């Protein structure tokens, strides 16, 4: 007899875990909906033609591919059966074999399916279109602590507007979710791809912009020395790297960093790439207007102030924030929980051409994502979950013998009609076993209803946590429990 198991990197969620996860989902869902985001769900299976080429070569490798159904080795047409695969195909390798035997794959993220949905439904959607999506995704990554092959994403995106109000609202939503969850020690990092581009230009445009972003992205992991080494290898000159770290290392609060970067760009002679801000949108120097990245960050900051945002101490302008994914073009975001050793728990940014690869160019959007599995681990590490039992049951009625078990049925029905999750222990027998059951499941109340109690028209209600017992007339039990 083979011992049953589940695939590497996947998990069963038992009752207590599901309850905790539902709690996280509900906080996120309520926030998304309060901000006007509408739910969308897309299929688990997508055509590989939709998924392939959207996540880079590495992503293509990590896609789970689903074998075509039926006899995937042959093609049948008008009763004629021809083999699809030859021995030569096998020699040629998976790139040749794969398209012949698999045309579907598992959802890899929620962004590409969203873009596919928008492109498919462009004729009927009303823009700006705000949607949220909370579904699992699958990646054939090597499993490790905090990294699963099946994990959940909660995305919210708005497409069809380039209003910076959307960026400000992302900060508001992030702050609201982590505050509601009790994860107060968070930092929302914000940067702008335009700022990174200006930094690149300030270095004289040496080497490749992408190489620079990729290297900066690793700063957290490999440190300044590691990044320097990588950039030297990529052909950047030593003094250039010094300039880079001077710019990345600007100090001060949000506005001071902006001002210092501005000075740096001006000194380095970086060509302005933005327009002058409106009179009322900013009190900053007019020069700020000329760099799109800096200007938009000022604007987002101002919108947050106007919205009454109170947590500026948790919002950090971080010029080193790069976010690897290449499709971002404007503001980028990332959230860390400072008192837990854990990667980012939320992130996102603006992209200018999400649906371009599906034949709908020029749709600008901005979105972000919560990583539910990591948030779960943070809450658990910090012991922030309220106690959750192994069952929703609030109340167990004991089953002394067949007659009193049956006599308990009206009370059971009454409890449930009042919305109180309740059970009658299904088998008549020893009370000790039934109390053990209630204890193991974390059921808070046990109602003893044996022949004696029934004869007296009462029920004994025991509060499991304290051991306290009350004898109540049968007709008053439900009322006492619903107070």
Handedness of CA 338, 143, 29, 358 (dihedral sign): positive
Tokens 């590989």 identify what position? 48
x/- site string to a copy of itself, residues 441 to 460, per CB under 8 A? Answer: x-------------------
CB of 451 to a copy of itself, least distance (A): 13
Contact present, 134 and 153 (Cβ < 8 Å)? yes
Q: CA-to-CA distance for 378 and 344, rounded, in angstroms?
A: 11
CB of 302 to a copy of itself, least distance (A): 8
Q: Would you say 31 or 369 has its CB closer to a copy of itself? A: 31
| Stretch of residues binding a copy of itself (CB under 8 A), selected from 177-185, 323-331, 333-341, 398-406 | 398-406
CB of 110 to a copy of itself, least distance (A): 12
Say whether the peptide bond before residue 145 is cis (omega within 30 degrees of 0). no
CA angle, corner 362, sides to 356 and 366, nearest 5? 90
What region, left, alpha or beta, does residue 437 occupy, with left being phi > 0 and alpha being psi -120 to 50 degrees? alpha
Q: What is the DSSP string of 296-344?
A: HHHHHHHHHHHTT---GGGEEE-TT---S-TTEEEEEEEEEETTS----
Q: Would you say 104 or 257 has its CB closer to a copy of itself? A: 104
Site for a copy of itself in 301-360 (CB under 8 A): 302-303, 306-308, 358-359
Q: Would you say 34 or 275 has its CB closer to a copy of itself? A: 34
Among 25, 52, 59, 98, binds a copy of itself (CB under 8 A): 98
| Stretch of residues binding a copy of itself (CB under 8 A), selected from 220-228, 249-257, 258-266, 385-393 | 385-393
CB of 34 to a copy of itself, least distance (A): 5
Q: CA-to-CA distance for 207 and 233, rounded, in angstroms?
A: 10
Q: CA-to-CA distance for 238 and 217, rounded, in angstroms?
A: 19
Q: Would you say 61 or 482 has its CB closer to a copy of itself? A: 61
Q: Would you say 105 or 347 has its CB closer to a copy of itself? A: 105
> Which residues are bridge partners to 159 per DSSP?
129, 365
Q: Would you say 116 or 336 has its CB closer to a copy of itself? A: 116
- Give me the phi and psi of 49, to 5 degrees please: -65, -25
> Per-residue b/e over 53-67, b at no fewer than 16 CB within 10 Å?
ebbeeebbebbbbbe
Q: In Å, how far are 20, 183, 345 from 376, measured between CA atoms?
A: 8, 11, 10
x/- site string to a copy of itself, residues 404 to 423, per CB under 8 A? Answer: -xxx-xx-xx--x--xxxxx
| Stretch of residues binding a copy of itself (CB under 8 A), selected from 113-121, 201-209, 218-226, 467-475 | 113-121
Among 24, 28, 55, 138, binds a copy of itself (CB under 8 A): 138
Q: CA-to-CA distance for 338 and 332, rounded, in angstroms?
A: 19
Site for a copy of itself in 211-270 (CB under 8 A): none
Among 26, 67, 233, 246, binds a copy of itself (CB under 8 A): 67
Site for a copy of itself in 3-62 (CB under 8 A): 3-7, 10-15, 18-19, 22, 33-47, 49-50, 61-62
């Amino acid at each position: 007899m083979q011992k049953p198991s589940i695939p590497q990197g996947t998990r069963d969620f038992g009752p207590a875990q599901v309850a905790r996860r539902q709690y996280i989902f509900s906080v996120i869902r309520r926030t998304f909906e309060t901000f006007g985001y509408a739910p969308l769900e897309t299929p688990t299976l997508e055509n590989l033609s939709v998924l392939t080429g959207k996540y880079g070569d590495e992503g293509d490798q990590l896609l789970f591919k689903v074998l075509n159904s039926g006899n995937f080795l042959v093609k049948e047409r008008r009763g004629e059966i021809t083999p699809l695969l030859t021995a030569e195909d096998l020699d040629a390798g998976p790139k040749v074999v794969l398209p012949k035997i698999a045309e579907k794959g598992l959802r890899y993220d929620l962004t590409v399916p969203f873009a596919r949905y928008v492109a498919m439904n462009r004729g009927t959607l009303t823009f700006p279109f705000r949607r949220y999506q909370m579904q699992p995704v699958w990646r054939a990554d090597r499993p490790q602590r905090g990294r699963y092959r099946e994990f959940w994403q909660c995305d919210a995106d708005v497409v069809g507007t380039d209003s910076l109000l959307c960026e400000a609202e992302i900060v508001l939503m992030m702050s609201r979710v982590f505050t509601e969850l009790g994860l107060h020690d968070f930092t929302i990092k914000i940067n702008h791809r335009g700022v990174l581009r200006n930094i690149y230009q300030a270095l004289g445009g040496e080497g490749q912009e992408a190489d620079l972003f990729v290297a900066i992205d690793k700063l957290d992991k490999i440190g300044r020395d590691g990044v320097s080494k990588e950039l030297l290898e990529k052909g950047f000159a030593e003094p250039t790297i010094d300039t880079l770290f001077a710019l990345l290392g600007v100090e001060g609060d949000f506005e001071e960093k902006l001002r210092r970067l501005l000075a740096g760009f001006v000194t380095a002679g970086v060509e302005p790439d933005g327009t002058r801000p409106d009179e009322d949108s900013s009190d900053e120097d007019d020069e700020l207007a000329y760099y799109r990245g800096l200007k938009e960050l000022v604007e987002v900051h101002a919108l947050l102030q106007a919205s009454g945002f109170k947590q500026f101490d948790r919002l950090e302008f971080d010029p080193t924030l790069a976010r690897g994914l290449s499709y971002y073009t404007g503001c980028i975001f990332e959230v860390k929980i400072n008192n837990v050793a854990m990667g980012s728990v939320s992130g996102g940014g603006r992209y200018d051409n999400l649906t371009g690869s599906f034949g709908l160019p020029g749709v600008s959007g901005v979105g972000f994502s919560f990583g539910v599995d990591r948030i779960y681990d943070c809450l658990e590490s910090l012991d922030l979950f309220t106690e959750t039992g192994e069952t929703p049951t609030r109340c167990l009625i004991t089953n002394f013998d067949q007659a009193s078990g049956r006599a308990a049925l009206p009370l059971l029905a009454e409890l449930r009609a009042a919305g109180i999750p309740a059970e009658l222990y299904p088998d008549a027998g020893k009370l000790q076993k039934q109390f053990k059951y209630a204890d193991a499941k974390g059921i808070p109340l046990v109602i003893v209803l044996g022949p004696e109690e029934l004869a007296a028209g009462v029920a004994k209600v025991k509060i499991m946590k304290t051991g306290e017992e009350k004898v109540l007339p049968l007709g008053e039990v439900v009322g006492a429990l619903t107070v």
